[in-house]
Amino acid sequence: MICRTYETDTLKRYKYVVTLSRYKGKILMSRHKERTTWEAQGGHIEPGETPLQAAKRELYEESGALEYTIVPLCDYWAGEREDGADGAGGMVFVADIETLGPLPESEMAQVQTFEWLPENLTYPEIASVLYRKIGFGFRTGRLLYGTGNPAKLEAMQRRLKPLGLELMGLKDMKGEIPVVEENGATPLENAEKKAAAYYRAFRTPVFSCDSGLYIEGLPEEDQPGVHVRTVKGKYLTDGEMLEYYAGLARRYGDLKARYRNAVCLVLDEAHSYSAMEKSMESRPFLIVDRPHSAVRNPGFPLDSLSVDIPTGKYFYDLDAGAADEVAVEDGFLEFFRKYL
DSSP output for 134-190:
TT--BSS-EEEE----HHHHHHHHHHTGGGT-EEE-GGGSSSPPPP-----SSHHHH
How many CB atoms sit inside 10 A of residue 147's CB? 20
Angle at 35 between CA 30 and CA 36, to 5 degrees: 75
Give 95's Cβ-side CA count (13 Å radius): 29
Question: Under 8 Å CB-to-CB from 109, ≥6 apart: which residues?
Answer: 31, 32, 33
Nearest CA to 261 out of 144, 159, 143, 140 is that of: 159
pLDDT for 43 equals 94
pLDDT for 333 equals 86
pLDDT for 12 equals 82
Domain 2-132: CATH class, spelled out: alpha beta
The domain ranges of the chain are 2-132, 142-339
Nearest CA to 251 out of 289, 285, 223 is that of: 289
Instruction: Quote the DSSP letter at residue 8.
Output: T
Burial label for 176, CB within 10 Å (0-12, 13-18, 19+), is exposed
pLDDT for 23 equals 93
Helix (H) or strand (E) holding 126: helix 124-132
Q: Taking the CA atoms of 155, 161, 163 and 165 in sequence, report the sign of the dihedral they define.
A: positive
Rounded to an integer, what distance in angstroms lies between the CA atom of residue 126 and that of residue 121? 10
Nearest CA to 212 out of 226, 222, 224, 201 is that of: 226
Rounded to an integer, what distance in angstroms lies between the CA atom of residue 126 and that of residue 128? 6
- Kindly indicate whether the domain formed by 142-339 is annotated with CATH number 3.40.50.300: no
Q: At 77, phi and psi to the nearest 5?
A: -130, 140
Q: At 280, phi and psi to the nearest 5?
A: -95, -10
Give the gyration radius of the chain's Cα atoms.
Answer: 25
pLDDT for 323 equals 55
pLDDT for 177 equals 93
pLDDT for 75 equals 94
Length of the chain, in residues: 340
- pLDDT by residue, tens only, the chain of 340 residues: 788 889 999 998 899 999 999 999 889 999 999 999 999 999 999 999 999 999 999 999 999 999 999 999 999 998 877 766 778 899 999 999 999 999 998 899 999 998 888 878 898 888 888 888 887 765 556 789 999 988 889 888 888 888 777 899 999 998 899 999 888 999 999 999 999 999 989 888 899 999 999 999 888 888 899 998 888 888 888 889 999 999 999 999 999 999 999 999 998 777 889 999 998 998 899 999 998 876 666 667 888 899 999 999 988 888 766 655 555 677 888 898 888 7
